[in-house]
Amino acid sequence: MNNLSPICLFVYNRLLETQETIKALQNNFLANESDLIIFSDGYKSDNDKMEVMGVRDFIKNIQGFKSVKIYDSQTNKGLANSVIDGVSLVLEDFETVIVLEDDLLTTRNFLDFMNQGLDYYKMFNAVYAINGYSPDIGKESVDLFKAKRAFPWGWATWEDRWNKDILSNNDISKHINKSVLKEFKNECGADVVGMLKETLNGKNSSWYIRWVFVNFLGKKVSIFPVKSKVINIGFTDKGTHCSEISAYKSQLDKTFLREFNFIDVADIKLVMSSFLRYFSFSYKLLFRIKMLRSMHGFRLLFKEFKNKIIL
């Protein structure tokens, strides 16, 4: 395969998760033909310094890729600014990019799927992202589906569909009204309006929800595999953005297939209810109630509750 997309990896202070992420990437069929570009965020305080430096010591010696380039930030940008700046920088030199964070394990055919998807849909301007992770939508008859909401756990896009200027809070605020927010919620999930408002109010700094909203306004879609090519291992106390319980379920691709059919894609209407249910309050609540059946689940719920109280 020619002109493989570079892999853009964002890391911070989680050494074990970063090592697992790299190990899985190295096992990809296309790893040694792919360029790996790593962005290491600076530490917030002296409490994080040793762990951040430990991660940086590790990434200096990574092998198994066509090339490895590292950008060490001298300041703490936070995940949102790191992703926006890093992806924008990579797309100054490349037409496409595959984006990962330091807590994502990929299947061996992840890079095959992402590169083939980028190649197939490069002329389809209505598609704004290829997703590596996918929640289980309960469909076995198709390989792919499309949705108006992308997922931040392993994704890819094109230079002509990414512009950090469109993620401006001021510009986004101009498009917000009750009618737009209602449609956004109905088509992208019950949690998106709350996330967007918190971002615009400065309570969080999510790049992701801004990107989803902008592309929702543009009536664009993203492509998902029915069988996920990614597992998230980041739901730990150290996970700055994933310290809660994950209620997502997925079918992991264990086939090692390297050729994918991007023609047969399930329509949004056929999968919308099963896809959007993962983002509803009722689903998340029921998931947690079921967790009370085991002592392990009870401990996880207690830890999540305690973290929220502290925050």
Between the CA atoms of 297, 301, 302 and 305, what dihedral angle is there, to the nearest 10 degrees?
180
Is the backbone of residue 3 left (phi > 0), alpha (psi -120 to 50) or beta? left
CB burial string 42-58: b at 16+ within 10 A, e below: bbeeeebeeebeebbee
The rounded mean pLDDT for the chain is 89
CB atoms under 10 Å from CB of 202, counted, come to 8
Helix or strand run (H / E) with residue 37: strand 35-40
β partners of residue 104:
232
Helix or strand run (H / E) with residue 9: strand 7-11
Residue 27 to residue 5: CA distance in whole angstroms: 17
**pTM: predicted TM-score of the whole model, two decimal places:** 0.89
Percent residues over pLDDT 90 in the chain: 71
Confidence band (pLDDT; 50, 70, 90) for 150? very high
Confidence band (pLDDT; 50, 70, 90) for 7? very high
- Interhelix angle 281-291/295-310, rounded to 10 degrees, is 130
* Identity of the amino acid at 278: Y
* Identity of the amino acid at 118: L
Residue 114 to residue 1: CA distance in whole angstroms: 12
Q: Whose CA is closest to 103, among 209, 7, 20? A: 20
Residue 170 to residue 192: CA distance in whole angstroms: 18
Q: How many residues does the chain have?
A: 311
pLDDT tens sequence across 288-307:
565 556 665 556 555 655 55
pLDDT tens sequence across 56-99:
999 999 999 999 999 999 999 999 999 999 999 999 999 999 99
Average the pLDDT over 205-217 and give the result. Answer: 95
Q: Is 172 helix (H, G, I), strand (E, B) or coil?
A: helix
Domains of the chain: 7-167+207-279 (3.90.550.10)
Q: Taking a C-beta distance cutoff of 8 angstroms, is the pair 58, 91 a contact?
A: no
Q: Cα–Cα–Cα angle for 54, 24, 151, nearest 5°?
A: 95
Average the pLDDT over 231-257 and give the result. Answer: 71
Q: Taking a C-beta distance cutoff of 8 angstroms, is the pair 155, 131 a contact?
A: yes
Extract the tokens encoding 306.
Answer: 């305690």
Residues 6+ apart with CB under 8 A from 47: none
Q: Whose CA is closest to 215, among 309, 149, 171? A: 149
CB atoms under 10 Å from CB of 206, counted, come to 19
pLDDT for the residue numbered 238 = 47
Q: Taking a C-beta distance cutoff of 8 angstroms, is the pair 68, 39 a contact?
A: no
